[in-house]
Amino acid sequence: MKKILSVALALVLCAALAFTGCNEFSGNYDTELTAEELETKLASASLDDVGSSETAQTEGASGYKMKFEYKMKVGGVAGDKEENMEMKGDGEAKYTFGDAGLAMQTRMKNSTKMSGSSSDYNMEARYVEGVLYTKLSAKENGSSYESKTKAEMPEYNFSVDDTEAITFDMRDLIFMVENGGAAAYVEASDANKIKIVIKAETLLDEFFSDILAMTGDAVQTDIQKCSAEVYIRLNDAGALTGYRGEVNFKAALGAKDVPVTGDINVNLEMRVFTEITEFDGRISAPSDAGSYADET
């Protein structure tokens, strides 16, 4: 009975903590790493590994699954001009490295609204046995477009950069820690799990450097919300087998008497989530593959 109750309690806790606990990135990250220690640990790890069949077959996973979401709002007033923009999207990518080579399946969605215009974009793609199947649909200011095409591509490379996922490069993370813009920690019971906490000022510079350059030293910043963490999981060979990043950020920027534009006030709000884990499933061609037209 005690064992049954323990299992039941664990399941309840996992359900209650679905996004923060009971996952392969959770743990007790209580030991801080120096930049040199972090660099040593990440010496053999790169997000490029995720798209490398050579690395996967010799050191890493047999395949990967990526999930990502992002939402960004920017509202600004410069002098007597006002501009607002909202962008959001999500997607998923799966790919494996088998005897037949790379197999890939992706789905991406993006929606953008600006003052006086809007656009929506959806893409689904599969790459199986040397054939790339692509399904697109888009809408922009009332006009729409749809297509389904296929193309033979014996050689095809896929990487994180081919998605709309927002990630932090390993070298950039090391640089942040080295310069005091972030802190790194290792998990108490698993030295292959690393957590990096990024400071608010670093995020401002990383994502909004153009705005900061425009306002110069006169900018006044009111950071209302900042939570930015990256989790990295390695295997014993030092290759990347897991990545999770989440950013929640909200701030207001203001500057007076900026040359040309006058006073500037900008409100920023952003949420970014990206997760990469191992995947050993099967990927096949679309069930309606016969309806895809040959790409010309």
Domain regions of the chain by residue span: 26-89+161-286
> Does position 4 have pLDDT exceeding 50, yes or no?
no
Q: Helix (H, G, I), strand (E, B), or coil: what is residue 85?
A: strand
Label the pairing between strands 193-198 and 220-234: antiparallel
The full DSSP string for 222-260 is: EEEEEEEEEEEEE-TTS-EEEEEEEEEEEEEEEEEEETT
Residue 102: what pLDDT? Answer: 83
CB 105 within 8 A of CB 288: no
3-class DSSP state of 26: coil
Say yes or no to pLDDT of 20 above 50. no
Q: Determine the 3-state secondary structure of 209 from DSSP.
A: helix
Query: Residue 110: pLDDT above 80?
Result: yes
Q: Is the pLDDT of residue 90 over 90?
A: yes
pLDDT at 265 over 90: no
User: Looking at residue 21, what is its pLDDT?
Assistant: 41
- Give residue 49's pLDDT: 59
- The answer to whether residue 195 scores a pLDDT higher than 90 is yes
pLDDT at 39: 94
Q: Can you tell me the distance from the alpha carbon of 92 to that of 57, in angstroms, rounded to the nearest whole number?
A: 22
Average pLDDT over residues 248-268: 76
pLDDT at 58: 43
List of long-range contacts for 134-141, beta carbons under 8 Å, 24+ apart? 134/292, 134/295, 135/286, 135/292, 141/117
Look at residue 3 and tell me whether its pLDDT is greater than 50.
Answer: no
Whether the CA torsion 206, 186, 275, 269 is positive or negative: it is negative
